[in-house]
Amino acid sequence: MMRPVVLVVEDEPLVRLFASDMIEEAGFEVLQAADATDAIVTLEDRLDVRVVFTDVDMPGGIDGIMLAICIRERWPAIQIIITSGRPWPEGTDLPEDMVFFSKPYRQDRVLETVRRMAA
């Protein structure tokens, strides 16, 4: 059976590796991107991505929140998880259907959400 595909977007290589391993070990196929532009190129190429797990602070001008909004526009079927070392910005609502995890995050909780979204 095909494993559901999750795209991990994170500029810090070590944290990206950690997140990828965590999700892969839970039985998913993982694609990696180091920034938002990279992520969009991947998404244009792979139409089977079910969940995007993205950091907020990334170089290159487009942050994770912008990326999430862009994905919601272009690929409405893709589920989105956002994570950041900063608290969610005050006064702004988390877009509907998205889940936010403050860093550091509990692996079991993240995995639980990924499983639910990919199901």
Partner 1 sequence: MAVNAGITDVGARHRAKALADLMVLDTPDEQAFDDLVFIAAKACDVPIALITLLDVDRQWFKAKYGLDVQETDIEHSVCRIEIDRGDMLEITDLTADRRTNCNPLVTGAQHFRAYAGAPLVLRSGAVVGRLCVIDTEPRPEGLSELERAMLRALARLASENLELRRTARVSNRLTELQAALVEIGEAIRGSGDAGQMASATAAIVGRVLTADRAGLGSVDDAIETIDIKTDWTAPGILSIAGRHRLDEYVSLREPLVYGDPLVVADALTDERAFSNLSIAMRIGVRALVDMPVREHGRTIALFFVHSAQPRPWLAEEVAFLRSATDRLEAGVARHRSDEQQRIVNGEIAHRLKNMLTMVQAIASQTLRSASDRESVYAFERRLMALSAAHDALLQNSWAQADLKSIATTVVEAIGFTDRVKMDGPPVALGARAALSFSLIVHELLTNACKYGSLTGDVGDVALTWEIRTDDGDDRLMIKWRERGGPPVTPPTRRGFGSKLISIGLAGTGGVDLRYDPGGFAADLQAPMRHLAKG
Q: Which residues bind partner 1 (CB under 8 A)?
A: 12, 14-15, 17-19, 21-22, 57, 84-87, 102-108
DSSP 51: E
Residue closer to partner 1 by CB (options 79, 84) is 84
- Whole-number minimum distance, CB 71 to partner 1, in Å? 23
- Whole-number minimum distance, CB 84 to partner 1, in Å? 8
93 to 33, 50, 88, 89, 119: CA distances (angstroms): 26, 23, 9, 8, 25
Report the alpha-carbon angle 19-25-30, nearest 5. 55
Residue with tokens 């950690």: 18
Residue closer to partner 1 by CB (options 2, 14) is 14
Which amino acid type is present at position 4?
P
**110 phi/psi in degrees, rounded to 5:** -65, -45
- Whole-number minimum distance, CB 77 to partner 1, in Å? 29
- Whole-number minimum distance, CB 21 to partner 1, in Å? 7
Residue closer to partner 1 by CB (options 8, 40) is 8
Residue closer to partner 1 by CB (options 42, 107) is 107
Q: How far apart are CA 32 and CA 34, in angstroms?
A: 7
